[in-house]
């Protein structure tokens, strides 16, 4: 029976989809990371009434009520809410297959529910489906672990992802606790529904409470609030019409509506800023000598300095006037197309301005296009004029033939060339005269052709699905409308220096030219060598002192490739044309610390980039990108532009925040349309949202109190239009738009928009191709490439293109097919080169025997294989003479950090020998991250403490990010064996802790003597290490308070003399309120001086022998606690010191051994998963068992401290097997005394509290934190020594809080007790903290930033611990078995921290609670922890 149920469950759960909810932050890579936050909410009264209304709904209103009850059970509130939740998931993702983890009222096992959803499904159908699928799952309920195990059978490691990422529970269902805990780390969002008991006097509408757990590493609290609001809206809408299709139910809430664009608002339709030609002419007349275009000249070789030629505004004005008059006089009329055969130069600027001054429309052809492609453009454009730039070369014979025979060219300028003095040449006629000679005298005379907002000035091309490009007619309105706003928003003015880097036949070239001409600024033009030679473009921009550049992401990658030259003058970089990634931004920031990166969204049809998302300069905010997702959003509309996200199922419904829809661009600056009127009607649509709005006043036709200007003759009136982009996107909670894909197969690669259908049309015309399809795939470097799959057409003609591949050759599958048809592939590529621009020719061609088909008979695209093209190319960087740029910068960074740095700083001197310390080391790493824009590990300075080592490490990390190295060191720390830093002499040789444990086993004795039979029957002497530390002082006090059981305690103290040792011990214990002089005077306390890291602890042989003969217990509590030092630095005091302590226990009298460890030894993802797995099994274990062998942390511990504790514990396990008896005490965070509140102020917990007070913010972290009062830990430790469990073989004692407090419990008390702190999302808090530390430098968390910023997500998700041994130990002694930190104790701690001057006095005017009065009235001083 169970087998049948399992079979049914597995069949339902095959090929589970993975939901991808819209997140606010990037999803962390690697292991699952969770910062759990909680949001509590009540469903509104309206939503509750809607539930009541839905419960009463009957499909067939005429049916008898009793009949309905017999057939189908009415849905519960839980079913209705789960159905609504499922609909929201569908709307957020577009997915039609939704998987939810849930619970059952009748079955004890959890449920995995899989719901199909179609946008046309009525809501009521989803409700009934939820009921049916839940009932089906309840009937087949099985243990979750069994289902998971069976579904993951045969899968490779890493492919066994979670079955679901969203959960929906009823709070009252029984079995959910363990299941909830075990799946939390892999769940993004969990909804708990509960219905509190109500009086009969209350409303009949159910009062529903929601408790939502979410991962704040992914979502902001505003996202969760949005979700709840939309849930309420959805319920209200479907209660009015339960049969409404779920894909088009409006979700927009009033608060969201206020933040999103209003599709009926005025967009300054009449805001005509004048023609670009008129603005340019005004600038030229006002400042004729001002530099306009600075043209770089090709040098004879790359080593020869480049020369430039400067063209003034006056010279370009004169030259463009001459050419404009020539075009007019030769018959060019208004809006005739004049084609410019171009190259990147000042000549192009002059040609374009001349065409526009003549009132004509310019279009550009790139000579690099194949002749057949040029002919297509000419055929579409039907130009009446032709201007050939001299530097562009001669027109090819086939193109010339087409021009002559098929086009009606009125005028041709055969060889345009402009000179710095404003002289212009157009080539020579048959008489040897310059064809422009007749108009040379008109250089200072503008043609004065009137242009209006709707005059067509540009003709650009975009891909067409039929294989013929579409011509887009651009209006003059857009050529100037946005510039005043851009100048104000981004600081553009006449002092700016722009670049001409766009493709010359790509419409962004217009932006490159017109922006500087509008502002009266400079336009700098590079040579082809500057663009094509790796590293040269950055040098050129730096030498030109460029301040503004327009780039595609591909051009940005070219700019940063092998670039070493900084560009400090670059202030704005506008990106458009393709997806902009975080990596692209980081690369540019590494070259230009002052650059503001602006990601823009736009198409040829919108004429201009119409939205923007600004990324501040890294010099102003080095943390901004850390909280951004990998793909930069499209942003918000520029002035007078709206990005409208519209429901795909009903265009009359605007999308709400989070749901995927189609992006429409609403603006007065759209292009006029396509040359093809039918295509225009499909894509340029009238705004149906404002169809009923009142007509707006046309201030161009009817200006206030004035006559209409001449431009009104070329104005078609107010047209509220939208461009249907075909792009999919969604609104973020702040109204910003992010793109999520294409509604069709049109794609962008390297900034070029490509129609896959166009490629396939031409491909299908090849005579030897039977079937074909082209897709975008990602190569080994995650770069998008075009891959064409084709099935060759069998026949005799194919044989001529096929090669014989022997069957025994070591090739198979796709590789064999590619080799066999290599000649055919070459022919196909040449065929496409004649039809398509080079960027549209696929990178790979894959021959197949047949196309895979899906059940609908269509090509199954996901099933198409991807050929292995991973060919790693590695070229080591050439050595450079003298100091490298990295070394020079590193010297500067060190000089700014070190208090008294020598000049120059020796490259082989240790940072710590020059005055550095751990706090300065943390600051140094943050400076390195900021300056070099790399993710340098915080432990790097301890591995590479010299400038020389850091330079190598930084270059390695940098090159790895740029893709120039084959492998990044797996340790993440250069200097490890096999890495570039390994040749130098490091401070400590690298030691792998797991291997070191194996090597150290030989230091253990073969066996250890048993404890004396009378161990428990007489007073004992304890040898104690670490007594000067925080916990050690309380352990000492606890031991010596047991006067009958403890005869004497011998403390190892690091000091020059015994008296200094006693003084040090007394000072520390007195500060903690646990000292008695009677201990010394009575002889019950003895101090011996030594050091943990020395042989025999530094004791002389006589003292060693005496202690060995006298002591009954070795209580080893001492350690070097440091959260940044690597293992090899902690090995001597922490690991070798433990071996010394073991040897002491085995010398002389047989002794018990107690070792104080830390939960840092199990701080790995394995133990989180283990505790969750045990919870799922509902075993008697409360978490990780005390008997665990620690193998789950053999190689994955991240801190050197945790690694040192792991090795020590493993050695003790082995010693226990060989006879040594005692306990390992493993506590979590040790906090203050539960009575006096004395605490250790250098602990992470209190540093975090103080850091939050200093920052004024507390993070929303619902993760539990295992913090236990020190007196409880000391009691457990002392009992382990004086009254261990019978015959304990170094068994573990877990000390854990019961119940476990949360970070929110702890930090929320700050505001309650009057400390002015506000809650915020964890990632916001983390970013604000980093900024605060870098600006102020004195935050309490500064020394622990590595923990807070790098490891907090995983470190605070700690495993549950079973403490059965500890409970037995305490019960045996008749002590209280549990301890925790509750609200009252937290108040006591805060009061003590204020009295100790660690925290300031609370300053809120009327706090919810007053700090309690402390019982002890003596001197209170902040106490540290470390004791050696």
Q: Point out the least confidently predicted range of 33-42, 931-940, 1279-1288.
A: 931-940
Task: Summarize the confidence of residues 630-645 as an average pLDDT.
Answer: 94
The arithmetic mean of pLDDT across residues 1321-1325, rounded, is: 85
Give the whole-angstrom CA distance, residue 747 versus residue 754: 5
Distance, in Å, from the CA atom of 302 to the CA atom of 687, rounded to the nearest integer, reads 55
DSSP state of 1124: S
Write down the pLDDT at residue 883: 79
Residue-level pLDDT at 899: 64
Answer yes or no: is pLDDT of 1205 > 70: yes
Mean pLDDT, the chain, integer: 85
Across 302-330, average pLDDT = 93
The answer to whether residue 1025 scores a pLDDT higher than 70 is yes
- What pLDDT, on the 0 to 100 scale, is given for residue 1107? 96
DSSP bridge partners of 724 = 664
Residue 1056 has pLDDT above 70, yes or no: yes
Section 1287-1304 average pLDDT: 91
Q: Is the pLDDT score of 692 beyond 60? A: yes
Rg value, the chain, Cα: 38
Mean pLDDT in residue range 720-739: 93
Q: Quote the pLDDT of residue 982.
A: 32
The rounded distance, in Å, linking the Cα atoms of 1123 and 1117 is 17
- Distance, in Å, from the CA atom of 236 to the CA atom of 47, rounded to the nearest integer, reads 6
Confidence of residue 848 (pLDDT cuts 50, 70, 90): confident
Q: Which pLDDT does position 1178 carry in this prediction? A: 55
* Ranges 631-635, 1034-1038, 1417-1421, most confident: 1034-1038
Confidence (pLDDT) at 859: 67
Q: What average pLDDT does this structure show over 565-575?
A: 95
CA distance 511 to 1034: 72
- Give the neighbor-by-neighbor strand order of the sheet with 1289-1295: 1085-1089, 1046-1053, 1020-1025, 1113-1116, 1152-1156, 1221-1227, 1289-1295
pLDDT of residue 263: 95
Cβ neighbors of 796 (< 8 A, separation 6 or more) are none
User: Does residue 451 carry a pLDDT above 60?
Assistant: yes
pLDDT of 325 over the 70 cut? yes
Which range (325-329, 668-672, 760-764, 836-840) has the least confidence?
836-840
Q: Is the peptide bond before 904 cis (omega within 30 degrees of 0)?
A: yes
In sequence order, the 6+-apart residues with CB closer than 8 A to the CB of 858 are: none
- Residue 855 has phi, psi (to 5 degrees) of -60, -20
Model confidence pLDDT, tens digit, residues 1088-1119: 999 999 999 999 999 999 999 999 999 999 99
| Residue 755, pLDDT score | 67
pLDDT at 523: 97
Q: How confident is the model at residue 1343 (pLDDT cuts 50, 70, 90)?
A: low
Confidence of residue 1163 (pLDDT cuts 50, 70, 90): confident
Statement: residue 486 has pLDDT above 50 = yes
The band of 1329, judged by pLDDT with boundaries at 50, 70 and 90, is confident
pLDDT at 342: 93
C-alpha–C-alpha distance, residues 1294 and 1228, integer Å: 8
pLDDT of residue 178: 59
Half-sphere exposure of 1346 (CA within 13 A, CB side): 24
pLDDT tens, position by position, 242-301: 999 999 999 999 988 999 999 999 999 999 999 999 999 999 999 999 999 999 998 877
CA distance 958 to 738: 29
More confident residue, 672 or 1350: 672
pLDDT of residue 19: 81
Q: Cα-flanking dihedrals φ and ψ of residue 769, to 5°?
A: -115, 125
Please tell me the predicted confidence (pLDDT) of residue 927: 84
Strands 291-297 and 522-525: parallel
Tell me the three state secondary structure of residue 510.
Answer: helix
Work out the percent of the chain whose per-residue pLDDT is above 70.
87
Q: Could you tell me which residues come within 8 angstroms of residue 305 by beta carbon, excluding any fewer than 6 positions away?
A: 299
pTM of this prediction?
0.75
Cα 1250 to its chain centre, rounded Å, is: 28
Estimate to the nearest angstrom the gap between the alpha carbon of 925 and the chain centroid.
21
Q: Which of 703, 715, 864 is closest to 788 using CA atoms?
A: 864
Write the pLDDT tens digit of every residue in 861-892: 767 876 543 222 222 333 334 678 788 889 98
Residue 970 pLDDT exceeds 60: no
User: Minimal CA–CA distance to 1265: which of 1306, 1233, 1226?
Assistant: 1306
Alpha helices in 755-853 (DSSP H): 756-764, 796-799, 813-820, 822-833
Least confident of 240-249, 378-387, 1259-1268: 1259-1268
Q: Which helix H or strand E contains 1280, and what residues bound it?
A: helix 1270-1282
Lowest mean pLDDT among 757-771, 1166-1180, 1342-1356: 1342-1356
Bridge-based pairing of strands 572-575 and 337-341 is: unpaired
Least confident of 814-818, 877-881, 1179-1183: 877-881
Does the pLDDT at position 67 exceed 60? no
- Cβ count within 10 A of residue 815: 14
- Per DSSP bridges, beta strands 1113-1116 and 1152-1156 are parallel
For residue range 694-713, list pLDDT tens digits in order.
Answer: 888 999 999 988 888 999 99
Indicate if the pLDDT at residue 1419 is higher than 70: no
Give the model's pLDDT for residue 868: 47
Q: What is the mean pLDDT of residues 1019-1029?
A: 95
Q: How many other C-beta atoms can be found within 10 angstroms of the C-beta atom of residue 393?
A: 12
Residue pair 348/362 in contact by the 8 Å Cβ criterion: no
Rounded distance, CA 1051 to CA 897, Å?
A: 40
State the average pLDDT over residues 710-721: 95
Q: Which residues of 845-855 are buried (b: 16+ CB within 10 A; e: fewer)?
A: bbbbeebeeee
Contacts of 1065 (CB under 8 A, 6+ apart): 1027, 1028, 1036, 1051, 1053, 1087
Can you tell me the mean pLDDT for 1253-1275?
91
Residue 320 to residue 513: CA distance in whole angstroms: 14
pLDDT at 1170 over 70: yes
Q: Which two tokens stand for residue 647?
A: 């429901």
Q: 411 and 327 in contact (C-beta within 8 Å)?
A: yes
State the SS3 of 699-717: CCCCCCCCCCCHHHHHCCC
Q: Are 512 and 502 in contact, with CB atoms under 8 Å apart? A: yes
CA 1059 to chain centre: 57
Q: What pLDDT, on the 0 to 100 scale, is given for residue 1344? A: 61
DSSP string, 1357-1417: SPPPB--HHHHHHHHHTT--------HHHHHHHHHHHHHTTSSPPP--SS-SSPPPPPS--
Query: Residue 971 has what pLDDT?
Result: 33
> What are the C-alpha distances in Å from 813 to residues 779, 842, 850, 1002, 1418?
19, 20, 13, 53, 83
Instruction: Round to whole Å and give the CA distance between 121 and 118.
Output: 5
Do strands 611-615 and 596-601 pair parallel, antiparallel, or not at all (unpaired)? Answer: antiparallel
Tokens representing 6 are 């399992």
Least confident of 56-70, 267-281, 405-419, 1291-1305: 56-70
**What are phi and psi for residue 1076, nearest 5 degrees?**
-140, 125
What are the Cα distances from residue 1286, in Å, to 473, 1227, 1289? 91, 21, 9
pLDDT (0 to 100) of residue 1350: 56
Res. 1180 pLDDT band, cuts 50 70 90:
low
pLDDT, average across residues 916-942: 77
């Amino acid at each position: 029976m169970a087998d049948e149920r399992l079979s049914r469950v597995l069949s339902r759960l095959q090929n589970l989809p993975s939901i991808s909810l819209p997140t606010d932050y990037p999803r962390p890579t690697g292991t699952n990371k969770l910062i759990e936050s909680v949001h509590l909410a009540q469903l509104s009264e309206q939503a509750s009434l809607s539930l009541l209304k839905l419960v009463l709904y009957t499909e067939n209103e005429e049916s008898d009520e009793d009949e309905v009850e017999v057939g189908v059970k009415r849905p519960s509130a839980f079913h209705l809410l789960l159905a609504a939740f499922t609909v929201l998931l569908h709307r957020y993702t577009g997915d039609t297959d939704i998987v939810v983890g849930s619970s059952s009222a009748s079955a004890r096992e959890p449920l995995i529910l899989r719901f199909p959803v179609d946008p046309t499904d009525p809501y009521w159908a989803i409700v009934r489906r939820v009921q049916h699928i839940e009932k089906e799952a309840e009937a087949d309920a099985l243990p979750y672990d069994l289902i998971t195990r069976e579904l993951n059978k045969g899968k490779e490691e890493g492919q066994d992802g979670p079955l679901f990422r969203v959960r929906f529970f009823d709070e009252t269902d029984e079995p959910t606790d363990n299941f909830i805990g075990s799946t939390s780390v892999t769940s993004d969002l969990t909804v708990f529904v509960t219905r509190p008991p109500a009086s009969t006097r209350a409303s009949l509408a159910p009062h529903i409470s929601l408790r939502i757990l979410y991962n704040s590493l992914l979502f902001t609290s505003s996202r969760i609030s949005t979700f709840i609001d939309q849930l309420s809206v959805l319920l209200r809408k479907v209660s009015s019409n339960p049969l409404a299709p779920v894909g088009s139910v409006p979700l927009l809430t009033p608060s969201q509506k206020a933040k999103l664009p209003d599709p009926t608002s005025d967009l300054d339709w009449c805001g005509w800023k004048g023609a670009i030609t008129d603005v340019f002419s005004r600038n030229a007349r006002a400042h004729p000598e001002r530099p306009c275009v600075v043209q770089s000249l090709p040098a004879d070789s790359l080593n020869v300095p480049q020369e430039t030629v400067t063209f003034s505004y006056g010279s370009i004005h004169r030259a463009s006037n001459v050419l404009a008059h020539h075009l007019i006089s030769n018959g060019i009329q208004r809006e005739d197309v004049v084609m410019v055969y171009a190259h990147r130069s000042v000549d192009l600027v002059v040609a374009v301005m001349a065409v526009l001054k003549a009132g004509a429309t310019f279009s550009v052809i790139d000579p690099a296009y194949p002749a057949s492609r040029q002919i297509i453009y000419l055929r579409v454009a039907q130009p009446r004029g032709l201007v050939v730039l001299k530097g562009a070369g001669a027109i090819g014979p086939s193109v010339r033939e087409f021009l002559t025979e098929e086009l009606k060219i009125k005028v041709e300028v055969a060889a345009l060339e402009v000179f710095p003095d404003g002289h212009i040449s157009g080539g020579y006629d048959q008489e040897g005269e310059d064809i422009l000679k007749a108009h040379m005298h008109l250089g200072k005379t503008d043609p004065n052709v009137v242009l209006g907002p709707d005059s067509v000035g540009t003709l650009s091309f975009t891909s067409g699905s039929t294989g013929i490009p579409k011509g887009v007619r651009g209006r003059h309105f857009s050529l100037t409308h946005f510039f005043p706003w851009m100048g104000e928003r981004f600081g553009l003015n006449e002092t700016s220096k722009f670049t001409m880097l766009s493709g010359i036949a790509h419409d962004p070239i217009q932006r490159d030219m017109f922006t500087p001409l509008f502002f009266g600024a400079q336009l700098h033009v590079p040579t082809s060598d500057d663009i094509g030679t790796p590293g040269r473009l950055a040098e050129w921009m730096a030498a030109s002192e460029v301040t503004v550049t327009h780039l595609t992401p591909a051009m940005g990658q070219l700019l940063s490739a092998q670039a070493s030259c900084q560009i400090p003058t670059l202030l704005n970089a506008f990106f458009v044309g393709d997806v902009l990634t975080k990596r692209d931004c980081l690369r540019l920031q590494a070259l230009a610390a002052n650059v503001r990166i602006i990601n823009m969204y736009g198409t040829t049809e919108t004429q201009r980039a119409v939205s923007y998302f600004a990324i501040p300069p890294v010099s102003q905010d080095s943390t901004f990108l850390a909280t951004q997702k990998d793909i930069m959003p499209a942003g918000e509309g520029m002035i007078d532009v709206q990005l409208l996200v519209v429901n795909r199922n009903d265009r009359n419904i605007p999308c709400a925040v989070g749901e995927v829809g189609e992006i429409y661009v609403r603006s007065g600056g759209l292009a006029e349309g396509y040359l093809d009127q039918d295509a225009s009607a499909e894509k340029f649509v009238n705004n149906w949202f404002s169809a009923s709005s009142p007509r707006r006043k046309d201030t161009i036709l009817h200006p206030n109190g004035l006559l209409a200007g001449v431009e009104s003759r070329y104005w078609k009136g107010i047209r509220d239009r939208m461009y249907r982009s075909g792009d999919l996107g969604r609104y973020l909670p702040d109204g910003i738009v992010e793109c999520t894909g294409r509604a069709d197969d049109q794609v962008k690669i390297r900034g070029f928009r490509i129609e896959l259908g166009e490629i396939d049309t031409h491909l299908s015309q090849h005579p030897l191709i039977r079937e074909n399809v082209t897709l975008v795939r990602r190569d080994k470097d995650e770069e998008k490439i075009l891959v064409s799959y084709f099935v060759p057409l069998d026949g005799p003609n194919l044989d001529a293109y096929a090669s014989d591949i022997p069957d025994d050759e070591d090739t198979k599958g796709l590789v064999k097919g590619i080799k066999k048809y290599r000649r055919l592939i070459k022919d196909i590529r040449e065929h496409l080169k004649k039809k398509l621009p080079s960027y549209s020719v696929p990178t790979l061609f894959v021959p197949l025997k047949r196309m895979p088909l899906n059940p609908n008979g269509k090509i199954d695209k996901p099933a198409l294989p991807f050929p292995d093209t991973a060919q790693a190319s590695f070229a080591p960087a050439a050595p450079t003479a003298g100091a490298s740029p990295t070394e020079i910068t590193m010297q500067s960074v060190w000089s700014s950090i070190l208090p008294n740095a020598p000049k120059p700083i020796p490259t082989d001197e240790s940072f710590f020998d020059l005055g550095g310390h751990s706090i300065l080391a943390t600051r140094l790493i943050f400076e390195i991250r900021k300056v070099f824009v790399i993710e340098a590990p915080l432990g790097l300075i301890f591995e590479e403490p010299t400038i020389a080592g850091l330079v190598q490490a930084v270059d390695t990390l940098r090159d790895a990010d740029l893709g120039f190295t084959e492998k990044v060191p797996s340790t993440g720390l250069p200097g490890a064996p096999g890495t570039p830093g390994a040749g130098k002499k490091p401070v400590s040789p690298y030691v792998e802790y797991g291997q070191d444990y194996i090597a150290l086993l030989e230091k253990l004795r073969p066996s250890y003597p048993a404890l004396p039979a009378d161990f428990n029957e007489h007073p004992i002497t304890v040898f104690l290490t670490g007594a000067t530390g925080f916990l050690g002082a309380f352990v000492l006090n606890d031991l010596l308070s047991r006067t009958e059981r403890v005869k004497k305690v011998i403390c190892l103290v690091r000091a020059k003399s015994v008296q200094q040792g006693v003084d040090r011990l007394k000072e520390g214990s007195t500060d903690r309120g646990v000292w008695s002089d009677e201990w010394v005077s009575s002889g019950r306390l003895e101090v011996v001086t030594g050091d943990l890291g020395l042989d025999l602890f530094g004791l002389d042989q006589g003292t060693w022998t005496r202690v060995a003969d006298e002591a009954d217990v070795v209580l080893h509590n001492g350690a070097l606690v440091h959260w940044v030092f690597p293992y090899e630095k902690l090995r001597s005091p922490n690991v070798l010191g433990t071996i010394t302590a073991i040897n002491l226990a085995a010398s002389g009298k047989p002794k018990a051994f107690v070792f104080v460890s830390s939960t840092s030894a199990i701080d790995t993802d394995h133990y989180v998963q283990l505790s969750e797995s045990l919870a799922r099994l509902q075993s008697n274990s409360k978490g990780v068992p005390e008997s665990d062998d620690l193998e789950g942390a053999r190689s994955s511990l991240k801190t050197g401290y945790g690694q040192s504790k792991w090795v020590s514990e493993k050695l003790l396990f082995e010693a226990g097997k060989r006879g040594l008896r005692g306990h390992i005490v493993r506590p979590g965070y040790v906090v203050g005394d539960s009575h006096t509140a004395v605490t250790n102020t250098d602990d992470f917990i209190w540093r975090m509290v103080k850091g939050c007070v200093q920052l004024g913010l507390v993070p929303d972290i619902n993760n539990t934190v295992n913090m236990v009062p020190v007196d409880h830990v000391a009691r457990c430790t002392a009992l382990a020594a004086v009254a261990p469990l019978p015959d304990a073989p170094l068994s573990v004692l877990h000390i854990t809080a019961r119940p476990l407090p949360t970070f929110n419990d702890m930090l929320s008390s700050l505001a309650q007790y009057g400390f002015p702190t506000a809650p915020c999302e964890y990632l916001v808090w983390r970013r604000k903290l980093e900024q605060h530390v870098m600006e102020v430098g004195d935050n309490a968390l500064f020394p622990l930033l590595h923990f807070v910023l790098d490891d907090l997500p995983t470190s605070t998700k700690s495993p549950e611990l079973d403490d059965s041994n500890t409970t037995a130990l305490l019960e045996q002694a008749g002590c209280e078995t549990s301890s925790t930190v509750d609200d009252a104790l937290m108040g006591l701690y805060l009061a003590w921290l204020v009295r100790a001057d660690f925290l300031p006095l609370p300053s809120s005017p009327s706090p919810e609670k007053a700090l309690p009065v402390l019982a002890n009235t003596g001197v209170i001083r902040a106490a540290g922890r470390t004791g050696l």
